[in-house]
A and B are shown apart, each in its own frame.
Chain A
Amino acid sequence: MNAQPELTQALLYLDGVSVSFDGFRALNNLSLVIGPGEMRAIIGPNGAGKTTMMDIVTGKTRPDEGDVLFDGRVDLTRLDEASIAELGIGRKFQKPTVFESQTVEDNLLLALKGPRSAAASLFGWRNRVKASELDGVLETVGLAEHRARLAADLSHGQKQWLEIGMLLAQDPKLLLVDEPVAGMTDAETEETARLLTRIAGNHAVVVVEHDMAFVRALGCKVTCLHEGTVLAEGPIDAVSANERVIEVYLGR
């Protein structure tokens, strides 16, 4: 790995990151710092660059310029998705993406930390992953009684939780969660906020969300993006009182 001397205390460090698609500047000199175990909410209008930021951190998109450092020393712009996942960055997609034709338990087993190579799985070394860890994750996301069901048969909210559970099973240092409560009922939304706050602390969590009530429930620092750059950052009350944020995003 391209290890360098530690350059920053931050877990995730983005500095001056820009990327364009066909002339459209999705990110424009974006800088963002996430500390270890920190929870951060990212808000902003459509096209502000929230999802692109996650694409860059997880290796799906390469930035045109800028630094993306993980753990103070690893340059993420040189790695592919699988290596970044192995470093300890987990991602939840906007649309719940679970393995529909497999059981809840198998979904989590697939995510559980352990050797990932084809040889390891073919010759059974992967089977040594601990079942007790699995029970803990099932308990945390509240799917213990659904473990034998097919993921396809879960409700929308349960699929979201299963996907968060898969992130937990990966035991990453950093979780990127894209719009976890879209399409959820109010009760499910509250449950999700509780779930994420419980997870933060052991893991750094970055949540992209439009639902302001949910963001408030998370009770963490908020960053508002606009046109690919940071518009405002700080506690929720300060950010939601910011003139520019109200103008471009919250509305009057």
Chain B
Amino acid sequence: MIASRLLAGLDLKGRVFLAALAGLAVLVPVLNLAVPETSALHVPTYVVSLLGKYLSYALLAVALDLVWGYCGILSLGHGAFFALGGYAMGMYLMRQIGPRGVYGNPTLPDFMVFLNWKELPLTWYGFQSFPYAMLMVVLAPGLLALVFGWFAFRSRVTGVYLSIITQAMTYALLLAFFRNDMGFGGNNGLTDFKDILGFNIQAQTTRVGLFVATVVALALGYAVARAMVNSAYGKVLIAVRDAESRARFLGYRVERYKLVAFTVSACMAGVAGALYVPQVGIINPSEFAPANSIEAVIWVAVGGRGTLVGAALGAIVVNFAKTWFTGALPELWLFGLGALFVLVTLFLPKGVVGTLSAWSGGRRQAAPAGVAAAPAAE
């Protein structure tokens, strides 16, 4: 029943997007596992993981679009939630290594032995259990967002000021996670993963499994975000974005609406991070770098703010370009990214998908009315 209600609420873009994801979930595994390596159609395993990485970024972009596109909260710190989810997954993977580490300690991860620690820190308790780790993947970023958002929204911090403090938040976490005595591997982060749920993390089938899990998570994340913005809640959210004080004088507790969206979005970003880590094989403090969060904003802007599908596509396209660019002309990538952002802001303020739907007469869509070019202007 819930599924049918969801499907009824989808527009054409949403249906095409979900169908494309379903297609990917079938096609990529088949082309990797069933088609012989000599065939031109074979998808190598490293490409499967690369696609999985793009799709986890796409989930992060959908999460960001929920708060930025529909509620006008330009978070420049969503990378922090992504990284926290990633660390929770990384801690589970570290505990799975067991005595197979370089130092052979059955409970302590290598970096702790190296630091001469005798006992597992309290923060690491429970992470040998997959369900507990998955709970933390959602809870850690969710709680941070809840507390951070509660203070920020209650004090009515909006616009650029909010963007700046989200940036400060991720930077503070970056510095904290760099420290060895935080107990999260310091500078080097967590790596050398061996298995996940008993499957060898390097194995071809595990890689394909992780890819499929990412596709499913992206589809679910999209469905949740879409259901939220289509509900009466979403209408209030858009109202808050367009005229915050009007919404307040209508009797809506704006700060609570924002807090719900911000927290759900952070949880979603955490899941994205958790899927990212096993596919790239490492998580370190650089994931908290402010530049990462800003890059995520660019994906959403390029794809189309306030469209959800656009955000996901933006993430995939920009990262594909990044992979290609950093291979072909590595020193020029940052210039390319900067130029892309400037061009999109100037000529496609609604992003690629937003502009396309405006052309096809889909003006009913809740695309921001000409405000996309100046997101932080309040």
Contact = CB atoms under 8 A, between A and B. Distances in A.
Interface of A: 58, 60, 81-82, 85-86, 90-91, 93, 97-103, 106, 109-111, 116-118, 120-122, 124, 126-127, 150, 152, 166, 170
Interface of B: 228, 231-233, 235-236, 238-239, 242-243, 245-254, 256-257, 259-260, 363-364, 366-369
29 contacts: A58-B249, A81-B248, A82-B248, A82-B252, A82-B254, A85-B249, A86-B251, A91-B249, A99-B242, A99-B243, A101-B238, A101-B242, A101-B367, A102-B235, A102-B242, A103-B364, A109-B232, A110-B236, A110-B239, A111-B250, A116-B253, A117-B253, A118-B236, A121-B231, A121-B232, A121-B233, A122-B232, A126-B232, A150-B363
Contacts of A121: 231-233, 235-236
B246 A98 contact: yes
A99 B239 contact: yes
A102 B363 CA distance: 10
A100 B257 contact: no
Contacts of B252: 82, 116
A171 to B, nearest CB: 11
Given A99-B238, A150-B364, 12 more contacts: A58-B249, A81-B245, A85-B251, A91-B249, A99-B239, A99-B242, A102-B235, A106-B235, A111-B250, A118-B257, A121-B235, A122-B231
Given A102-B366, A118-B257, A121-B233, A97 B251 contact: no
Contacts, number: 86
Contact of B369 (A58, A85, A152): A152
Most chain B CB within 10 A, of A91, A100, A111, A121, is at A121
A38 B257 CA distance: 35
A1 B206 CA distance: 59
Nearest to A85: B251
Given A100-B242, A101-B367, A122 B260 contact: yes
A124 B231 contact: yes
B250 A122 contact: no
Contacts of B246: 93, 97-99
Contacts of B239: 99, 102, 110
A91 B245 CA distance: 11
Most chain B CB within 10 A, of A101, A109, A121, A122, is at A101
B243 A110 contact: no
Contacts of A170: 250-251
B250 A85 contact: yes
A166 B246 CA distance: 10
A106 B250 CA distance: 13
A77 B181 CA distance: 49
B247 to A, nearest CB: 8
Contacts of A126: 232
A110 B253 CA distance: 13
A149 to B, nearest CB: 10
5 tightest Cβ-Cβ pairs between the two chains A and B: A85-B251, A121-B233, A121-B232, A122-B233, A126-B232
A85 B250 CA distance: 6
Contact of B253 (A101, A103, A106, A118): A118
